[in-house]
Chain A
Amino acid sequence: MPFRRGTLDVTSPGPLLRVEALRKTFSVGGAVMARARTELRAVDGLSFEIARGETFGLVGESGCGKSTVARCVLRLIEATSGHVTFDGIELLGLDARTMRRFRRRMQMVFQDTAGSLDSRMSVRAIVEEPLIIHRVGNAAARRVSVDEMLNLVGIHPDLASRKPHQFSGGQRQRIGLARALILRPELVVLDEPISALDVSVQAQVLNLLRDLQESLQLTYLFIVHDLTVAEYFCDRLGVLYLGRLMEIADRMTIFRKPLHPYTVSLLSAVPVPDADPARKRSRIILSGEVSPLGPESGCPFQPRCPIGKDRDMCANQTPPLEARGPGHAVACHFPGELTAP
């Protein structure tokens, strides 16, 4: 199925999305008067690319900035600095009208299935709304589109007159997907789409996402906190910590040969559903918790890093993101030193 072409489509060669040195800071703390307002660097110089048809994952725990990145990419919030290039065109700085036309090509699916759907609207109205906003087709054509989309995500069109709360979590997520896809976007940002769902439903939705990607030729930016889900679902992934990329590689490499101590710790922390006592491994348990106001200099992970805690170099020099293999980059002074126990 060929890509839909609009007036602004350049369809440049190269990645569909390129993010360069993206930064977003928030000012926090202090009352109106004087007390020093500190800067929260939610996203601190992030760069990555997503090729067409690829699934790219951004993995990290709470406070790492992954949701902020997603929103900056779609310009739902304005980045402080950096570049976001979509299909060769710089998005940051575009005026509202032009940006609106780009919004047709990039959509988002949210984690909160109940909150992101207006509980007053029927499912049909929810899925139809993007068509109305972007003035696509007449009422009859829209009806056909909505029915087609609902079928595609596995919701029977007869149920379309119901309200969201009458559906289960998994079904609501499908409705959210239908809404996001009705305009046939090229890029879909999935912000923790399965975290709020039951385990047995998660697999269903992941399979559906796979199928849709194939049939509609979608490119995914997949935001998730569960590294194992990311390893399963994504082609390439980046591990975020306090707004910075710690490691970026394809799934096989992350699975077999993670080099950054945070990635290793993250993998080690996931409990394995397998009770063979011989495999009861000793885990790497990180000490302390994430402090959102990270250190000014040096590696952001250093205070908790099993190998960097006591090293001056890690405390004082920020490690750059450097290539350590084909398509594999790590931001660490001592990559590969910490191995899974």
Chain B
Amino acid sequence: MFSLVLGRLTASVVALFGASVLAFVVLRVTPGDPARLFLGPFATEETVAELRRKLGLEMPLVEQYVNYIADFLQGDWGFSYTTGETVAVQLARRFPATIELGLYAFILAFVFAVGLALVAAYRRGSPSDGAIRALSFFGLGVPPFWFGLIALVVFFEQFGWLPGPDGRLDLARDPPPDVTGLFTVDALIAGQFATLGDALLHLVLPAITLGLLPFAFLLRLLRANLLDVSREPFITVARSKGMSRWGAFLKHALPNAFLPTLTAAGLLLGQLLAGSVLVEKVFNWPGAGLLVTDGILRQDFSVVQAFILLSAVVYVVANLIVDILTGVIDPRVRQPARLG
């Protein structure tokens, strides 16, 4: 087990290194001069050139990269020229919102995907299976921002059941005391149940919007895996022991079908971060995604770079967790077959 974790960690570090290089290079290569942007269109050539020198933009790429990584590891994630704050501060302020959104989106997607996949695979070929599959097509095909907007129109504007795009809480309400940065958790800790309710209500539409695509993907994958596994002889053997069809499905097919699905789920976790960019815009959710969108539009190097690197970290950590979980669930990974 230990060697498994160690091996994966090493691979993770290598992956992160690669991602950081890529992020760095890509941004340097794209058109746009940050020094000029900062100084405005009326600045002279010399001023621009001097600022470029000061910012280190004239140094060879490799040197710039090394400096950047050194700074990054020490917590200096760059300075955002458009807002005047350090990137670290901005991200720290915004990230919890994205995490909270992503977390609920993932939980919703996961729970519903597993539940519906079980029903669909168990009742294969029936109308309910057809309906569930239709739902998955919908989830895959619908653009999240379109769905978000329509959902807002229907549930906020028409019926007024759910709050509108005013962020995480009602404008009049104060956020709970900051412990984790996740409003729902903090409100629970502080015992502020009205705030908790409000935060949850605000999460409904954005979480569903963000989770729709992962839900559809997981659903289809798990259903297919369940169908494959249910054809395996050990399922018949389980039933021959007296297990009901549903029991065999739940206790034997699901754990085995889960393994290949788990790997895909890890990828999805990373993608939630990417998806949040658009969803946050629609719902005015004050998260890192919104920060990055603005940063891109204003060509703010540092923010975008830090975000890319952070995404890479999330991705890699998610996959690391998935790999370890696979080792936990699948004994074949933990204990290779004995020879003789």
Q: Is the CB of A293 within 8 A of B339?
A: yes
* Nearest CB in chain A to that of B4: its residue: A31
Chain A 302-331 against B: per-residue CB contact (8 Å), 1 yes, 0 no? 000000000000000000000000000000
Residues of B within 8 Å of A, CB-based: how many? 6
CB B326 to nearest CB in A, in angstroms, measures 16
Q: A31-B4, A32-B7 are in contact. List 12 more A-B contacts (CB 8 A).
A: A28-B339, A29-B336, A29-B339, A31-B7, A35-B3, A38-B339, A40-B339, A290-B340, A291-B339, A292-B339, A293-B339, A293-B340
* Nearest CB in chain B to that of A29: its residue: B339
Contacts of A28 in B (CB 8 A): 339
CB B295 to nearest CB in A, in angstroms, measures 41
Q: Is the CB of A292 within 8 A of B340?
A: yes
The reply to whether the CB of A1 lies closer than 8 angstroms to some CB of chain B is no
CB B338 to nearest CB in A, in angstroms, measures 9
Considering the chains assembled together, what is the distance between the CA atoms of A292 and B339 in angstroms? 7
The reply to whether the CB of A8 lies closer than 8 angstroms to some CB of chain B is no
Contacts of B7 in A (CB 8 A): 31-32
* Nearest CB in chain A to that of B2: its residue: A31
Residues 296-340 (chain B) with a chain A CB within 8 angstroms = 336, 339-340
Contacts of B339 in A (CB 8 A): 28-29, 38, 40, 291-293
Residues 3-54 (chain A) with a chain B CB within 8 angstroms = 28-29, 31-33, 35, 38, 40
Contacts of A32 in B (CB 8 A): 7
Contacts of A293 in B (CB 8 A): 339-340
Contacts of B336 in A (CB 8 A): 29
- In the complex, which range does the number of interface residues on chain A fall in? 10 to 19
Chain B 1-17 against A: per-residue CB contact (8 Å), 1 yes, 0 no? 00110010000000000
Contacts of A29 in B (CB 8 A): 336, 339
- A to B CB contacts below 8 Å, 12 in the list: A28-B339, A29-B336, A29-B339, A31-B4, A31-B7, A32-B7, A33-B3, A35-B3, A38-B339, A290-B340, A291-B339, A292-B339
Contacts of B3 in A (CB 8 A): 31, 33, 35
CB B157 to nearest CB in A, in angstroms, measures 54
Contacts of B4 in A (CB 8 A): 31
Contacts of A291 in B (CB 8 A): 339-340
* Nearest CB in chain B to that of A290: its residue: B340
Contacts of A35 in B (CB 8 A): 3
CB A41 to nearest CB in B, in angstroms, measures 12
Contacts of B340 in A (CB 8 A): 290-293
CB A33 to nearest CB in B, in angstroms, measures 6
CB A250 to nearest CB in B, in angstroms, measures 33
Considering the chains assembled together, what is the distance between the CA atoms of A40 and B7 in angstroms? 25
Residues 274-308 (chain A) with a chain B CB within 8 angstroms = 290-293
CB B1 to nearest CB in A, in angstroms, measures 11
CB A201 to nearest CB in B, in angstroms, measures 24
Closest 10 A/B residue pairs (Cβ) = A291-B340, A31-B3, A293-B340, A292-B340, A293-B339, A292-B339, A33-B3, A28-B339, A29-B339, A32-B7
CB B339 to nearest CB in A, in angstroms, measures 6
Considering the chains assembled together, what is the distance between the CA atoms of A103 and B7 in angstroms? 42
